[in-house]
């Protein structure tokens, strides 16, 4: 619906040297800011290239719907990486009733402890949609969020924090057949209810859900159901870090994994580029493949969210 480009992707590509200089400058400025706050100066240094490699590994497993052998292999990879990076890993396991019958589901939840009692959550889905007769490998839709979160596991561990930081890999975001209130976002609906029951929801300071953020032509919209203060914070940071052009002021309502939490009063925001390919033609098709993605897009979302996280640790 807004597939006509006002700017070609090539025009947005910076030379790698220019980008790394810019990032070094940003790290230096950040280190100064952190030093002034009396905290250890560490730059998170999120790597879009690493996030893209993780995405490639997930996509190489093929179709990864909930309950499939391929998603079981991906779960092993996710678990192993999180543990290797020092995260405490928990799993939310249940069986969901879907239009395609009963499906085993598994959210993977990783935590690094802080001292404040509050928690900042980064989430995304790691399943892909089961589409009969189509080899849908979900490079952008399911793969990019997985790759981004796995790199975030490395980067976030180096950022000074006072809050708990939590990574959630949601299962069952995708519907079987047509989407409805009861067919889709199985994982986030399940975890929101569980966390409401055990009181965890009240500890969430902010929740950032990422989805389809690997598109070479990155335009993260302002998802209109998301928390307004968090949308403003993201816009401010994106502008100040020179990434404003990737976050145009386009408002659109998207049902995604943040919404079960928003509806329960959690400050949650969805970072999504829902316009995928000319006229959105690659979405949920066999064309959602690695050649449509770029490390730079994952880098942009990584840099912005790492800086947002740092700012949230200052109050
Ligand atoms: Zn999808």
Instruction: Give 55: exposed, middle or buried? Use CB within 10 Å, 0-12, 13-18, 19+.
Output: buried
Quote the CA–CA distance of 142 and 55 in Å, as a whole number.
Answer: 9
Q: Cα(194) to centroid of ligand 1, in Å?
A: 24
**How far, in Å, from the CA of 81 to the mean position of ligand 1?**
24
* pLDDT of amino acid 11: 33
Mean pLDDT of 91-95: 98
pLDDT at 123 over 70: yes
- Kindly tell me if the per-residue pLDDT of 246 is higher than 80: yes
Task: Return the closest-CA partner of residue 304 out of 280, 269, 279, 253.
Answer: 269
Closest CA to 167 of 121, 199, 116: 121
Distance 114 CA to ligand 1 centre (A): 33
pLDDT of residue 178: 94
Predicted confidence at residue 10, as pLDDT, reads 33
Name the more confident of 17 and 142.
142
- 138 CA from centroid of ligand 1 (Å): 8
Q: How far is the CA of 174 from the centre of ligand 1 (A)?
A: 6
Instruction: Find, among 217, 220, 235, 226, the residue nearest to 273 by Cα.
Output: 220
pLDDT reported for residue 21: 53
What per-residue confidence (pLDDT) applies to 152?
98
pTM, rounded to two decimals: 0.87
- Please report which confidence band the pLDDT of residue 209 belongs to, taking 50, 70 and 90 as the band edges: very high
The pLDDT, as a whole number, for residue 8 is 32
Q: Cβ-count burial of 111 within 10 angstroms (0-12 exposed, 13-18 middle, 19+ buried)?
A: middle
pLDDT (tens digit, 9 = 90+) per residue, 263-309? 999 999 999 999 999 989 999 999 999 999 999 999 999 999 999 99
**What's the rounded Cα separation, in Å, for the pair 72 and 7?**
40
Task: Quote the ligand 1 centre to 43 CA distance (angstroms).
Answer: 33
Q: How far is the CA of 289 from the centre of ligand 1 (A)?
A: 13
Distance (Å) from CA 211 to ligand 1 centroid: 9
* Average pLDDT of span 160-181: 97
**What is the rounded average pLDDT of the residues 20-49?**
59
When pLDDT is cut at 50, 70 and 90, the band that residue 6 belongs to is very low
Q: 19-23, 206-210, 216-220, 282-286: lowest mean pLDDT where? A: 19-23
Q: Which of 4-8, 91-95, 208-212, 276-280 has the lowest mean pLDDT?
A: 4-8
For range 117-127, the mean pLDDT = 98
What is the Å distance from ligand 1's center to 13 Cα? 27
> What spacing in Å lies between the alpha carbon of 65 and ligand 1's midpoint?
11
Cα 214 to the center of its chain, rounded Å: 10
pLDDT reported for residue 33: 54
């Amino acid at each position: 619906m807004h597939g006509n480009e006002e700017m070609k992707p090539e025009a947005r590509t910076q030379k790698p040297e220019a980008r790394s200089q810019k990032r070094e400058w940003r790290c230096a400025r950040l280190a100064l800011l952190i030093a002034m706050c009396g905290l250890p100066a560490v730059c998170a240094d999120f790597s879009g290239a690493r996030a893209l490699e993780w995405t490639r590994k997930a996509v190489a497993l093929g179709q990864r719907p909930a309950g499939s052998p391929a998603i079981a292999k991906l779960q092993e990879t996710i678990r192993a990486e999180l543990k290797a990076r020092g995260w405490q890993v928990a799993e939310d396991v249940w069986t969901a009733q879907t239009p395609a019958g009963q499906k085993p589901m598994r959210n993977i939840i990783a935590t690094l402890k802080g001292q404040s009692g509050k928690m900042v959550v980064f989430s995304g889905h790691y399943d892909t949609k089961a589409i009969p007769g189509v080899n849908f490998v979900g490079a952008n839709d399911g793969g990019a969020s997985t790759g981004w979160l796995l790199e975030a596991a490395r980067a976030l561990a180096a950022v000074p924090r006072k809050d708990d930081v939590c990574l959630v890999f949601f299962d069952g975001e995708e519907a079987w057949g047509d989407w409805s209130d009861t067919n889709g976002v199985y994982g986030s609906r399940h975890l929101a209810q569980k966390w409401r029951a055990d009181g965890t929801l009240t500890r969430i300071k902010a929740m950032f859900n990422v989805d389809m953020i690997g598109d070479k032509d990155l335009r993260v919209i302002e998802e209109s159901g998301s928390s307004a203060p968090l949308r403003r914070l993201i816009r401010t940071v994106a502008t100040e870090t020179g990434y404003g052009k990737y976050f145009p002021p386009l408002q659109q309502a998207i049902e995604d994994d943040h919404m079960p939490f928003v509806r329960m009063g959690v400050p949650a925001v969805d970072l999504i580029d829902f316009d995928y390919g000319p006229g959105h033609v690659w979405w949920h098709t066999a064309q959602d493949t690695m050649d449509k993605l770029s490390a730079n897009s994952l880098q942009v979302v990584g840099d912005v969210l790492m800086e947002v996280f740092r700012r949230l640790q200052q109050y």
